[in-house]
Amino acid sequence: LINCTLQLLDCRYPQLKDDDLWNQLIGDVDYLRQLMLSLSDLNRCGHINLAPVNMNQMIRGIARQYLVLAQKEEKHLSVILQNELPVITCDELKIHQALVNLIKNAFEATKPWDTIEIFAKSTAQRLIIAIKDTGKGIPQDSLSKIFQPFVTQKQEGTGLGLSITKKIIEAHKGTIRVYSREGIGTKFIVSLPIVQK
């Protein structure tokens, strides 16, 4: 509704675009929209719809989506699948969202010529996925809080991405761990059961 009102004002008074406060207002409303979407995701991420999912296709597909960005930002993106990954029972959209959140964070934490690695392997009962980067790392005093809502190192972040990711993984009876050192990089390790019980 606020966006619609702003668009009407924009049509009536086109000179508003020249005012810095107008651009600030548009940015603030967009931030509120993102925040509301993130809060909605946070509330829904515990509800999962299970189906068989080919994880080879998912991980390779996500990597392909980010290859263009990696080239544009002059970063090295690699995908290592240690063995043929099994079909697992999960909510495809939500697991996709969780992995994209982690990869997006890795891109935001890195600079040109840094490396981002997506690694995956399977055991008899679990699928292990690691997202590793050689970026700026996370301060040690922040590591224990990064999965809490509204905790963020980003100027324009909502602080909900990692909270949503953790809830999605836990809804699948999985785990997520993080290891990081400032100036060296960060590694997230996701462990998911192959079959939901």
The answer to whether the beta carbons of residues 137 and 72 sit under 8 Å apart is no
The structure tokens listed for 109 are 């934490």
Q: What is the pLDDT of residues 22-54, one digit of tens each?
A: 888 887 777 777 667 666 666 666 778 899 999
Give 6-17 pLDDT, tens digit per residue: 888 888 888 888
Question: Residue 76: which H helix or E strand, with range?
Answer: strand 76-81
Of the candidate ranges 2-11, 67-76, 78-87, 140-149, the one whose mean pLDDT is the lowest? 2-11
pLDDT at res. 157: 56
Q: Above 90 in pLDDT, residue 84?
A: no
According to the model, what pLDDT value does residue 152 have? 64
Burial degree of 51 (CB within 10 A; 0-12, 13-18, 19+): exposed
Q: pTM for this one?
A: 0.77
Of 170 and 7, the structure prediction assigns the larger pLDDT to 170
84: left (phi over 0), alpha (psi -120 to 50) or beta: beta
- How many C-beta neighbours within 10 Å does residue 27 have? 11
Angle (deg, nearest 10), helices 55-72 and 92-109: 30
* Segment of 15-29, 31-45, 131-145, 155-169 carrying the highest mean pLDDT: 131-145
Range of lowest pLDDT (33-42, 142-151, 173-182, 186-195): 33-42
**Does residue 132 carry a pLDDT above 90?**
yes
d(CA 95, CA 168): 7
